[in-house]
Chains A and B, each alone.
Chain A
Amino acid sequence: MNRKVLFIGLALVVPLLVFLAISFNYDPRYIESPLVGKEAPNFTLQSLDGEVVDLSALRGSPVVINFWATWCQPCIYEHPYLIELAKRYEGRAHFLGVIYQDEVANIERFLAQRGDWGKTLVDPAAEAAIAFGVYGAPETFVVDPDGMIVRKITSVIDPRSLSQLLNSML
């Protein structure tokens, strides 16, 4: 009887332990984007300075699209990195910021205080956020010169790896 109980207990516990051991290798907050490796969804949005930006018109250069908000601490943290990267790749890559669930007035005030790093686009109906499957801010998508999404970065960007990726496309 004890052997039977032991066998049943092991049959229940061992698969559970294996399942947990495998699961510990994954970040539960990370959700893989089905868009990586696929053509970026197009959008046509207006920037804060009134320019209409059509994503498909930017083909030929890499594009960094950053969904951000002023209420998001990681966005504030990565803001200086984006300023530096946008300077470094000026004329070679496009940097687009898409306002994610925030007021234009807040964004304008923030940018006036801390500086701008690219075109800031207004997404009033969240159509770009929905098309890119944004789960929260910040999320950054890197689009190659052919218009394909090559990477999705959740949370703060790593400037070194983003630079390496951009360099590989130039």
Chain B
Amino acid sequence: MNRGRIGIWMIVLLLASAVAGAQADLDERSLRLLGEPNGSPRSGAALERATEEVTSLMRCPVCQGLSVFDSGTPSALAMRAKAEVLLAAGYDEEQVLTYFETSYGEFIRLAPKPRGFNLFVWVVPAVFLLLGGWLILQRVRSKTAQEGAVEADAELEAYRERVRREVSE
């Protein structure tokens, strides 16, 4: 682990302790929004790993296409700290994402849920892939057919030439 990453984790731990020591209102909010945690409390390496995983799925709100995990902005660090507090309390990945989605909207998810208009994003690449494959197949078949036709014509012409020679003899 390099010095920069240690620094980031130290800031996250500081922010997490600040968030943990914050007023009960926010905890009430978490409870009201999410209900009881689905999992059991985490700590240590398991908490660090879970925080890394969930923040990798979250979009940094002030960056261009970066995840919260990959960003070192104050916003991302604060969100990472909040995610860590929720995960430490036993909330699972989906609950943590839902917590942030309630405030930021679905845009906060780097991978949109495959439903409604979002299906467009999931389906179109597959459709284009299939369409492209079909077009290539059609092209190859057509070329093969043309080559076959040319070969057939050449054979016929040779035969006709032979017939012409035989008849003229």
Contact = CB atoms under 8 A, between A and B. Distances in A.
Contacts of A31: 104-105, 107
Contacts of A124: 18
Contact of A42 (B25, B105, B107): B25
A107 interface: no
A83 interface: no
Nearest to A44: B23
A60 interface: no
Interface of A: 8, 12, 31-35, 41-44, 54, 101, 124-127, 129-136
Contacts of A133: 61, 100, 102-105, 108
Nearest to B103: A133
Interface string B107-142: 110000000000000000000000100010000000
For chain B, which range describes its interface: under 10, 10 to 19, 20 to 34, or 35 or more residues?
Answer: 20 to 34
B139 to A, nearest CB: 11
Contact of B18 (A8, A43, A125): A125
Interface of B: 15, 18-19, 22-23, 25-26, 28-29, 61-62, 73-75, 78-79, 81-82, 100-105, 107-108, 131, 135
B25 A35 contact: no
B140 to A, nearest CB: 15
Nearest to A15: B124
A34 B105 contact: yes
A34 B103 contact: yes
Contacts of B135: 8
A8 B136 CA distance: 13
A126 B74 contact: yes
B107 A130 contact: no
Contact of A125 (B15, B73, B102): B15
A44 B29 CA distance: 12
Contacts of A127: 19, 22, 26, 78, 82
A36 to B, nearest CB: 10
B75 A125 contact: no
B1 to A, nearest CB: 24
Contact of B103 (A32, A35, A44, A125): A35
29 contacts: A31-B104, A32-B105, A33-B105, A34-B101, A34-B104, A35-B102, A35-B103, A41-B29, A41-B103, A43-B23, A101-B73, A125-B15, A125-B18, A125-B78, A125-B81, A126-B74, A126-B78, A126-B79, A127-B26, A127-B78, A129-B78, A130-B100, A130-B103, A131-B26, A133-B61, A133-B102, A133-B103, A133-B105, A136-B62
Nearest to A32: B105
Contacts of B75: 101, 126, 129, 134
A101 B74 contact: yes
